Structure 1
């Protein structure tokens, strides 16, 4: 007999009835286990990104911190979904015959969209700053990304065929984001040097490809009710792992030998760190040694 028997009671404690909304099509213990696994992975990577950042100087941790905050938000979202919380039941547009998706209402995790609303700007910030882009350009694209996330959320919460109108709005915003990443932002990265372009382009291209698969996942999950919520947990989880863990890692490896001053992202904290180091070394930050002895009188 095991001293500590492993069990997952999240589905029993938090059942398929929430705030009066019922879901016939919902995750099982298997789906909850998948979400717990993704939660643990995101939490572990959060620690790794923060520790990785500590190996860099104080003014060179921006990309590590952005990656860590992204995985931390994702870990919280996956904790919520693994606990069978953060969802509502929505009447499906199409009733399927497969026993995996039989029923009138489907479980829609709105917490997933809250996660995307928060993490998408961080992902874009990582890519934009890697290309030396300005805050003004980033803010513009963040607003567009919010439109993308919100239209998907509204579409997921709509029971009728009008949900596909929101889907189209989301596709239009996706095309605009990809155009900016693969052309405007890439051109700016190229102007800063071939090494910066090389560090930026592969993560940006891969992110654009992954974001193309998200609408497909939405179409077979919340949109079309084709695959079961347990399979949805696997599908979205794999996409999030690539988007939130793998791509920032590729970006960090690509930027590891690049002086961040060339990207214009070494802010005042970098100057403060330089001054602290210079003070400890007895210099003025420019290599000139300060003497603590009084000057000899003439």
Structure 2
């Protein structure tokens, strides 16, 4: 029994039974990749899961999105502009998937470079521009959709510029060898993202190909940019020192105070438990103020400069 029998299509131009079969296959691959990444993530020590966690989020969102599309859910009918007359299924659930995944994918890649966080966040913003303009254009039944298409291409060009003109020129804290791996990854992402607007123009935009062909095309691209790329990316970082990326502020610290707190806080900072013990021994109040000292002044140790 096909999912089309349970959830009938809501437009004359809709996905076929073979199309839903393909979507179920992609959903299965996404789910297996998600479970595998879940296991790999929890095999890593705490504090070294940043890239694994992002990959896990991307794969989880993709699995959910493909479950919805395979079930013939998450689409709305929109009148076509060209070729066959009638309404075509536009899959907004796919754009929700991209809205979450595309910025995360760029953050995953650009974090390995020496780009400033503001540049990385700006690139993530333009990823949202690409997805939102694509969605609004797909939901527009007139020729004005191509205006949104142009805005999306502009945003995509900006992303490519950040990947190559800026990201590739930075100093890679993880070592010169990381530059080569980044170049291959950035090239792969650039090539695959170049194919997405072509598919959009042939499907949601120009109504040139069928909905089933659209599903096959987008499904292949999502697999290439999802499980295949993510597993290659995570594998390529297996021997890289995690601390070299400068992500100390994102590392795991124990919820209990003590040595873990002091190690995470850095030199010159004393854990609260240590501070309390010293206060008891020296007569300093728990607020860190010596009787008679000016308010807000914390005494400093004679040799280390650490607060006592």
**TM > 0.5:** yes
1:67 aligns with 2:55: yes
Q: Which has the bigger relative contact order, CA under 8 A and spacing at least 6?
A: 1
1:256 aligns with 2:249: no
Q: Distance in 2 between matches of 1:153 and 1:197?
A: 34
The residue aligned with 1:147 is 129
The residue aligned with 2:5 is 12
Q: CA shift at 1:270, angstroms?
A: 3.9
The residue aligned with 1:99 is none
Q: CA shift at 1:73, angstroms?
A: 0.2
Match for 1:230 among 200, 208, 212?
212
Q: CA shift at 1:192, angstroms?
A: 5.1
Match for 1:82 among 61, 70, 73?
70
* Pairing of 1:97-136 with structure 2 (within 5 A): 103-136=85-118
The residue aligned with 1:92 is 80
Q: CA RMSD in A?
A: 2.2
The residue aligned with 2:34 is 46
Alignment deviations for residues 180-228 of structure 1 (CA, whole Å, 9 cap, x no partner): 0112111125465311212222111100110000000001110111111
Alignment deviations for residues 139-163 of structure 1 (CA, whole Å, 9 cap, x no partner): 2111111111111111101111111
| Secondary structure of 2:170's aligned partner | helix
Q: Quick one: structure 1 residues 155 and 268, their matched pair in 2 at CA, closer, same or farther if it must change by over 3 Å?
A: closer
8 A contact 1:151–1:167 mirrored in 2:
yes
Q: Distance in 1 between matches of 2:187 and 2:46?
A: 29
Q: Distance in 1 between matches of 2:89 and 2:151?
A: 23
1:170 aligns with 2:157: no
The residue aligned with 2:280 is none
Alignment gaps of 5+ in structure 2: 265-308
